[in-house]
Amino acid sequence: MTSQPSILIIYTGGTIGMMVDSATGVLHPFDFGDLYERIPEIRKIKCKIDNISFDPIIDSSDMDPEIWAHLASLIQENYDNYDGFVILHGSDTMAYTASALSFMLENLSKPVILTGSQLPIGTIRTDGKENLITAIEIAATKKNGCALVPEVCIYFEYQLYRGNRTHKYNAEHFDAFRSSNYPILAKAGVEIKYNHSIIRKATNKNLTVFTKMNTNIASLRLFPGIQQNYVSAVLNTDGLKGLVIETFGSGNAMTKEWFIRKLGKAVKKGVIIFNVSQCRGGSVNMGQYEASMGLKEIGILSGYDITYEAAMTKMMYLFGREYSSEQIKKYLQTPLRGEMTA
């Protein structure tokens, strides 16, 4: 008889972990030590559940690489003791955290499922209970003794997404996330139906955790009428190592001489520029139109179909690894954790 799987819940903060005080109506943090009493349905999932809560809890708007490093270290410290991990997180920056963790946790062979909610778990119409229950069930699911989903994911409103392919697209609806360039990994209905062919496979290598992220990067979102002094201010940021440029359509930008010249000068100084489309769906294809040919000629790199969130965190991760400039350029355009289709 096999032992029951064990799951560690890590509560960082966010709407899902809030309860409404019946006397005052004020929201206060949920005590996950009372999990089975508050959500008795979880008893039906045949697994052992432990929990860790951040103290103090953190609004997701305050997420940063130090907190990502803490999360990655918690997973590393508890990796041998649990079969899966569920991270409860505010939805606003969840896609950034999921993307960052996917890069920080190399050779992951166990599920790390991020979830949250749009309404507090203590309200009558909350989406938090279903999100939490199903995230735990997915994290605990195995096939032939191996985790069914051994990667960093986001589960929200009946859908399981690859974390580094996901972006938040709605602040009001329960279906708050989208994965525009990659299919969902699973859909929860009467049963949870997994799309096995697109789920990453576990390796036999040991987990390696990288916690150093270099934030000497910036982003530049283009818009019609953008001014030279604004572009110059971004490119002249002290210590700038990398820039994510958010372009139009399939990687297009204005062809003005000053614009191409300023970007080219930055590239020659060693700034690595990564071209990501403002469109949530589709891919950068530099050279398809004349409006992107100038970018390609000065050495700007294509981000293909990567999300903005994954592009930013991937850059932080690669610079944190202290690779050479050529290695960083190579890895930016190479899928490392299924984050892009190159």
Residue for token digits 């001489």? 257
Task: Tell me the CATH number at 277.
Answer: 3.40.50.40
Q: How far apart are the first and last CA of the chain?
A: 44
Q: What is the pLDDT of residues 269-301, one digit of tens each?
A: 999 999 999 999 999 998 888 888 999 999 999
Asked whether residue 340 is assigned to any structural domain, the reply reads no
Range of the domain at 309: 217-332
Between residues 18 and 195, which one has the greater pLDDT? 195
Q: Please say which residue of 176, 209, 242 terminates a domain.
A: 209
Q: Choosing from 12, 15, 97, 141, which is the catalytic residue?
A: 15
Residues 165 and 21 in one domain: yes
CA distance 115 to 110: 16
Name, in order, each residue with C-beta under 8 angstroms of 182's C-beta and a sequence gap of 6 or more. Answer: 161, 162, 165, 198, 338, 341
Return the higher-pLDDT residue of 28 and 161: 161
Query: Is residue 1's pLDDT more than 50?
Result: no
Residue 131 predicted with pLDDT over 90: yes
Q: Which residue has the higher pLDDT, 274 or 46?
A: 274
Are 205 and 227 in the same domain? no
Length of the chain: 342
Q: What is the pLDDT of residue 42?
A: 85
pLDDT score for 264: 97
In angstroms, the CA 158 to CA 168 distance is 15
Residue 1 forms part of a structural domain:
no
Same domain membership, residue 222 and residue 204: no
In this structure, are 157 and 236 located in the same domain? no
Q: Do 20 and 40 fall into the same domain?
A: yes
Domain count, the chain: 2
- Helices 65-78 and 94-104 cross at an angle (nearest 10°) of 50
Same domain membership, residue 259 and residue 205: no
313 is known as an active-site residue = no
Model pLDDT, residue 199: 97
Q: What is the reported pTM? A: 0.95
d(CA 152, CA 113): 6
Residue type, 216: N
In CATH, what number is assigned to the domain containing residue 24?
A: 3.40.50.1170
Structure tokens at 249: 């359509």
